[in-house]
Chain A
Amino acid sequence: MDSELITVTIDGKEVKVIPGTTVLEAARTAGIHIPTLCHHDDLCSEALYQQTASTPHQGEHSHQHEESAMLSTPSSCRICLVEVEGLPKLHASCALPIHNAMTVRTTSTAIRHARRDILELMMSEHYGDCFACARNGTCELQKLCADYGVTSERFGRPHEPLFEKAEIGNIIVRDQNKCILCRRCVRMCALYQGVYALTTEGRGDHSRIATFMGKEMKDATCINCGQCINRCPTGALTERDDTDAVWHAIEDPDKMVVIQTAPAPRAAIGEMFGCEPGTPLTFQMNTALKRVGFDKVFDTNFSADLTILEEGSELISRLYKALVLKDNTAALPQFTSCSPGWIKFIEHFYPKYLPNLSSAKSPQQMMGAVLKTYFAEKNGWDPSKIVSVSLMPCTAKKFEAARPEMDASGYRDVDYALTTRELGRMFKQAGIELPKLDKTPFDDPFGTPTGSGVIFGATGGVMEAALRTVFEIVTGEKVESVFDHADIKPVRGFDGVRMAELTISKVGPVPEILSHLVPDFEWLKGATLRVGLAHGTVNAIRVMKDIEEGGPLSQCHFIEFMACPGGCLGGGGQPIPTDREIRAARAKAIYSEDATYVVRKSHENEDVLRIYREFFKEGPCSHKSHELLHTHYKERV
């Protein structure tokens, strides 16, 4: 790369930049804010480069065609216009790379007028009231209208909706009346998720965002990951709002309303209450949930640890079948199954590999299943009166909860899956100032906080938790003997695809709990366990391609897939905005929480050991656990 720096003058300030830096980026380094709408920090070239860096298939993209058009900013909203000395017209700073010294002005009467016109043009086809909008307060369009004093309606406003809002049956709800056609959703879906569920349809005055054949989202190849929602600057994309139904259940005296909370929302919900990203509010949230009226508050960490035991045991027994018994129905590598976006993704795009998926349900569903069985029995609750709610960072969890097969107990495992954003709204409606609350522990019997469960919220977390457990079970040694503080750093980080190895130099006796699965561990002695990780389904595509081509990932034994960039902490149901820096801050919160807990390994979670003693007495992957804790998948077109 040309390393000579170029000096540009922006609003009188001199900045030195690497050639190719955009004027927008240069202005930021000079502390000058230029408004943007079609640009998003996650969708700028640098972020996209990082997103795909250090993968086995560097430079190659999800689908066969090159994606240059998608990769470059569309510079279509034109709100980031600036003046460049010596050039006529105004120029979109997000698409203006610096190759020569230039003098730029980011504010002038002409610029302000143009920006205000652009905003008023957007409003001229915008139907909707801010007070009734899920994005009131986080809407970028609303904010800019306020900043630029858009008070008149010079170009008119529609008096009735121009489009119908399709809510029923859809988890991703689109309201095109609020869409400004910035295409962030289209690019996010394509470039991070590789799904390409969305496109621009039509031309000119007929342009709009649409799915293939203009189908509703529920009938499209959408995986419900919600990444599009999280990038949408307006209220044009939202998740189905289940808060009314949950309020209703809470207020029904006949119902026992139980909520489980996943790790990722705790590290993020504070952002909705003015906290810095990365402020964990786990126990304050428990207080708030009780205040709101939930009868029990459980920790999804419990079922995360349960998942590790089921999935880890499944891995051990698969390896045994494949490597020792030479049973070729035992598909390797085993794929994790806790990300419902990833599940729908593989069902749509790689159905051939469904046998590789772990049959273990996700922690959300496992918790739901034991709630209405084990817990109900133990406490004498009528399972038909339990309303099982979950707090998830994820919109796809709504889809998972609604899968018809998720009712092995005779009842829905989970009745309502709320996103972080929905719960934040419920708190606000209840007048709760979350950061100011006291701390309350989780309820028994699913309330032991464990580090292994918490890290499920970050990419690599499931793998780390699984490795801590599998290593100790197989070797009988402490994982700390290999990794300081049991921090398995090689699987952490944000690279799109990662791989790690762990050599099993000695083996121990098979613990009682697994004796029904393998006779001994001798066959694992000296073996090297190879694992892989991918987050953001576009990286999942890279992994799948590598596997198809017999590359290094095909040699892995276990691969963790997370549909969302950064894993659950970057989930589509998390507070808006979410971007690289915010994801990093949330990850930090998650790993520091892990470090503070006494129990940091799933197999040491006393609640989990108890349920195997009392309920799943035949151990993991046994008949009863299969019935309640495991599931199956289907091909989708």
Chain B
Amino acid sequence: MDPKAVHGFVGNKLSFSEVTPRDGIRMAAEMAPEDVVAIIGASGLRGRGGAGFPTGKKWEFARGQEGSPKYIICNADEGEPGTFKDRLILTDFPELVFAGMAIAGRAVGAEFGILYLRAEYGWLREHLDAALERCRVANTLGNNILGASDFSFDISIRMGSGAYVCGEETALLESLEGRRGDARNRIPFPVQAGYLGKPTVVNNVETLAWVPCIMVKGPSWFAAMGTRKAPGAWLFCVSGDCKRPGIYEYPFGTSLRQILSDVGAENAKAVQVGGASGTCVPPAQFDRTMTPGDLATGGSIIVFGPGQDMFAVAENFQHFFCDESCGQCIPCRLGNQRMLEAIGRMRKDGLTVDGERNVRQLAQTMTVASKCGLGQMSARAFLSILNNFSGELPGHV
């Protein structure tokens, strides 16, 4: 299948189109690994997979690990509802992502890369294999990359099989190792003991795509795009009730209102920022900005128009988590089921004081007690809808 057939709309010019991946690799090849880490660190690049961890720090940590071999894993499991930027990046800029992985390998001392591609993007596989082959021919992958005797790196593609939780990095590792995608304990961290127990860097597709751009254009170019506290730009995936859904690049600090006006959604009644794991923002808060600290985002913006029933939305999200929870821990597996039932009940009968206290307490327990990020964030959307739209419940005065 030709990936262009489902390419989708791109709303503005993307920085990725201005960079030749090969240039980034060449710069890394000519540099000492610790300098590569320093450049990425100086740019202030943070992970685009959701947690927003500073990429330079992660690499530095991995670089300091003794185990070998080390692995670079590109997380292309993009499963957060309303997120599709990795799809576009892998369609239009696969070489940029591979370059980012190779540079990461250079930086931390890894020679093996794995791209974990979600099953739902299986149609990209051929396209990516062809791109990999081109890179090998161009010697931007393989042995002695671009003639550097101490720089070898290659990438293999491994597929997921339909599990949102496998985007969580430790569940992803379990899946790669041939097991159920049950999230692992967070200590040790993947950079200490990841794939097959070896030091492993897991980075998101977009994170890695920015890497060669930063190498070529410099950390200050990147930093200058955003605010002082949140340097850089981000790809936003806009879907839902708007005139121009698609991909948009914005610097950090852009206001939600600005984005809504660009996409043709001025009449939005609510916006879900960050996917099912994110928060639902009411119109009164549309002046908030896309910044870690304010509206942290995984890049997903779902617009709800005036006609939408917000508790039906909450129900849809909760159903998602019931399905997609790995099912091992109690607060997430059972908490989500009970939460889903509670939403159904409140949609029918409204909300009692006791009922509200119970769901809030349950949400709290899911948030603080769940084993991984999935459970910890699975009550967020509902809580924000409850906080802002409880007027939509029956019997509400």
Residues of A within 8 A of B (CB): 65-66, 68-69, 72-79, 81, 89-90, 92, 95-97, 99, 110, 113-114, 117-118, 121-122, 124-125, 154-156, 180-181, 183, 200, 202-207
- Asked whether, in the complex, the Cβ of B333 is within 8 Å of the Cβ of A90, the reply is no
Enumerate chain B residues within 8 angstroms of A181, measured Cβ to Cβ: 327-328, 330, 333
Tell yes or no: B338 within 8 A of A by CB. yes
Tell yes or no: B81 within 8 A of A by CB. no
Separation of A156 and B340 alpha carbons in the complex (Å): 13
Residue of A nearest to B354 (CB): A154
Tell yes or no: B152 within 8 A of A by CB. no
B342-365 vs A, CB cutoff 8 Å, 1 = contact: the mask equals 000000000000000010011011
- Asked whether, in the complex, the Cβ of A69 is within 8 Å of the Cβ of B325, the reply is no
Residue of B nearest to A88 (CB): B368
**Interchain CB contact (< 8 A) of A113 among B180, B185, B341, B364:** B364
Tell yes or no: B187 within 8 A of A by CB. yes
Separation of A79 and B329 alpha carbons in the complex (Å): 10
- Asked whether, in the complex, the Cβ of A124 is within 8 Å of the Cβ of B323, the reply is no
- Asked whether, in the complex, the Cβ of A154 is within 8 Å of the Cβ of B358, the reply is yes
- Asked whether, in the complex, the Cβ of B327 is within 8 Å of the Cβ of A202, the reply is yes
Separation of A99 and B186 alpha carbons in the complex (Å): 13
Enumerate chain B residues within 8 angstroms of A78, measured Cβ to Cβ: 329-331, 369-371
Q: Which of B333, B336, B358, B369 has the most CB of A within 10 A?
A: B369
- Asked whether, in the complex, the Cβ of B369 is within 8 Å of the Cβ of A77, the reply is no
- Taking the closest CB of chain B, its distance from the CB of A68, in whole angstroms, is 6
Enumerate chain B residues within 8 angstroms of A202, measured Cβ to Cβ: 327
Tell yes or no: B163 within 8 A of A by CB. yes
Enumerate chain B residues within 8 angstroms of A89, measured Cβ to Cβ: 367-369, 376
Enumerate chain A residues within 8 angstroms of B333, measured Cβ to Cβ: 181, 204-205, 207
Interface size class of B (residues with CB under 8 A): 35 or more
- Asked whether, in the complex, the Cβ of A207 is within 8 Å of the Cβ of B335, the reply is no
- Asked whether, in the complex, the Cβ of A69 is within 8 Å of the Cβ of B179, the reply is yes
Tell yes or no: B334 within 8 A of A by CB. yes
Interfacial residues of chain B within 360-387, with CB under 8 A of chain A in the complex: 361-362, 364-365, 367-371, 376
Enumerate chain A residues within 8 angstroms of B341, measured Cβ to Cβ: 156
Separation of A95 and B187 alpha carbons in the complex (Å): 8
Tell yes or no: B244 within 8 A of A by CB. no
> Which 3 A-B pairs rank lowest in CB-CB distance, beginning with the nearest?
A207-B327, A117-B365, A121-B334
**Interchain CB contact (< 8 A) of A90 among B165, B334, B368:** B368
Q: A121-B338, A203-B326, A207-B327 are in contact. Are A72 and B174 (CB under 8 A)?
A: no
Q: A97-B187, A121-B335 are in contact. Are A77 and B329 (CB under 8 A)?
A: yes
- Asked whether, in the complex, the Cβ of A124 is within 8 Å of the Cβ of B371, the reply is no
Enumerate chain A residues within 8 angstroms of B307, measured Cβ to Cβ: none
Residue of B nearest to A183 (CB): B328
- Asked whether, in the complex, the Cβ of B369 is within 8 Å of the Cβ of A203, the reply is no
**Interchain CB contact (< 8 A) of B330 among A97, A122, A200, A205:** A122
Tell yes or no: B390 within 8 A of A by CB. no
- Asked whether, in the complex, the Cβ of B334 is within 8 Å of the Cβ of A72, the reply is no
| Interface of chain B, main secondary structure | helix
Enumerate chain B residues within 8 angstroms of A207, measured Cβ to Cβ: 326-328, 333
Residue of A nearest to B319 (CB): A205
- Taking the closest CB of chain A, its distance from the CB of B67, in whole angstroms, is 14
Residue of A nearest to B341 (CB): A156
- Asked whether, in the complex, the Cβ of A205 is within 8 Å of the Cβ of B337, the reply is yes
Enumerate chain A residues within 8 angstroms of B288, measured Cβ to Cβ: none
Interfacial residues of chain B within 311-330, with CB under 8 A of chain A in the complex: 321-330
Enumerate chain A residues within 8 angstroms of B361, measured Cβ to Cβ: 113, 117
Enumerate chain A residues within 8 angstroms of B327, measured Cβ to Cβ: 181, 200, 202-207
Q: Would you list 15 pairs from A and B whose C-beta atoms are within 8 A, ordered by A residue? A: A66-B197, A69-B182, A78-B330, A78-B370, A78-B371, A90-B369, A92-B371, A124-B334, A181-B327, A202-B327, A203-B180, A204-B321, A205-B327, A207-B326, A207-B328
List 19 other contacts, CB 8 Å, given A110-B368, A203-B325, A205-B323: A73-B185, A74-B328, A75-B371, A76-B371, A77-B330, A78-B330, A90-B368, A118-B330, A118-B331, A121-B330, A121-B338, A122-B330, A155-B334, A155-B338, A203-B181, A203-B324, A204-B321, A204-B336, A206-B327
- Taking the closest CB of chain B, its distance from the CB of A119, in whole angstroms, is 9
Interfacial residues of chain B within 78-130, with CB under 8 A of chain A in the complex: none
- Asked whether, in the complex, the Cβ of A180 is within 8 Å of the Cβ of B185, the reply is no
Residue of A nearest to B320 (CB): A204
- Taking the closest CB of chain B, its distance from the CB of A437, in whole angstroms, is 43
Separation of A79 and B365 alpha carbons in the complex (Å): 11
**Interchain CB contact (< 8 A) of A204 among B325, B368, B371:** B325
Tell yes or no: B269 within 8 A of A by CB. no
- Asked whether, in the complex, the Cβ of B368 is within 8 Å of the Cβ of A155, the reply is no
Residue of A nearest to B324 (CB): A204
Enumerate chain B residues within 8 angstroms of A65, measured Cβ to Cβ: 178
- Taking the closest CB of chain B, its distance from the CB of A511, in whole angstroms, is 58
Enumerate chain B residues within 8 angstroms of A75, measured Cβ to Cβ: 185, 329, 371
Enumerate chain A residues within 8 angstroms of B187, measured Cβ to Cβ: 95-97, 99
Separation of A364 and B138 alpha carbons in the complex (Å): 74
Enumerate chain B residues within 8 angstroms of A122, measured Cβ to Cβ: 330, 334
Separation of A206 and B335 alpha carbons in the complex (Å): 14
Separation of A125 and B325 alpha carbons in the complex (Å): 17
- Taking the closest CB of chain B, its distance from the CB of A228, in whole angstroms, is 18
Q: A69-B174, A114-B365 are in contact. Are A76 and B330 (CB under 8 A)?
A: yes
Enumerate chain B residues within 8 angstroms of A77, measured Cβ to Cβ: 329-330
Separation of A81 and B327 alpha carbons in the complex (Å): 18
Enumerate chain A residues within 8 angstroms of B57, measured Cβ to Cβ: none
- Taking the closest CB of chain A, its distance from the CB of B86, in whole angstroms, is 23
Separation of A52 and B362 alpha carbons in the complex (Å): 41
Interfacial residues of chain B within 136-152, with CB under 8 A of chain A in the complex: none
- Taking the closest CB of chain B, its distance from the CB of A130, in whole angstroms, is 20
Separation of A113 and B369 alpha carbons in the complex (Å): 10
Enumerate chain B residues within 8 angstroms of A114, measured Cβ to Cβ: 331, 364-365, 368-369
- Asked whether, in the complex, the Cβ of A200 is within 8 Å of the Cβ of B180, the reply is yes
Q: A90-B369, A156-B338, A202-B327 are in contact. Are A117 and B185 (CB under 8 A)?
A: no
Separation of A499 and B372 alpha carbons in the complex (Å): 45
Enumerate chain B residues within 8 angstroms of A73, measured Cβ to Cβ: 185
Enumerate chain B residues within 8 angstroms of A113, measured Cβ to Cβ: 361, 364-365
Q: A118-B331, A204-B327 are in contact. Are A72 and B338 (CB under 8 A)?
A: no
- Asked whether, in the complex, the Cβ of A95 is within 8 Å of the Cβ of B328, the reply is no
Tell yes or no: B158 within 8 A of A by CB. no
- Asked whether, in the complex, the Cβ of A124 is within 8 Å of the Cβ of B338, the reply is yes
Separation of A93 and B174 alpha carbons in the complex (Å): 22
- Asked whether, in the complex, the Cβ of B328 is within 8 Å of the Cβ of A118, the reply is no
- Taking the closest CB of chain B, its distance from the CB of A204, in whole angstroms, is 4
Tell yes or no: B22 within 8 A of A by CB. no
- Asked whether, in the complex, the Cβ of B185 is within 8 Å of the Cβ of A72, the reply is yes
Enumerate chain A residues within 8 angstroms of B337, measured Cβ to Cβ: 125, 205
Q: Which of B174, B323, B334 has the most CB of A within 10 A?
A: B334
Enumerate chain A residues within 8 angstroms of B370, measured Cβ to Cβ: 78
- Taking the closest CB of chain B, its distance from the CB of A200, in whole angstroms, is 7
- Asked whether, in the complex, the Cβ of A117 is within 8 Å of the Cβ of B328, the reply is no
Tell yes or no: B184 within 8 A of A by CB. yes
Separation of A79 and B369 alpha carbons in the complex (Å): 9
Separation of A125 and B335 alpha carbons in the complex (Å): 11
Enumerate chain A residues within 8 angstroms of B324, measured Cβ to Cβ: 203-204
Enumerate chain A residues within 8 angstroms of B330, measured Cβ to Cβ: 76-79, 118, 121-122, 180-181
Enumerate chain A residues within 8 angstroms of B328, measured Cβ to Cβ: 74, 76, 181, 183, 200, 207
- Taking the closest CB of chain A, its distance from the CB of B346, in whole angstroms, is 14
Interfacial residues of chain B within 223-243, with CB under 8 A of chain A in the complex: none
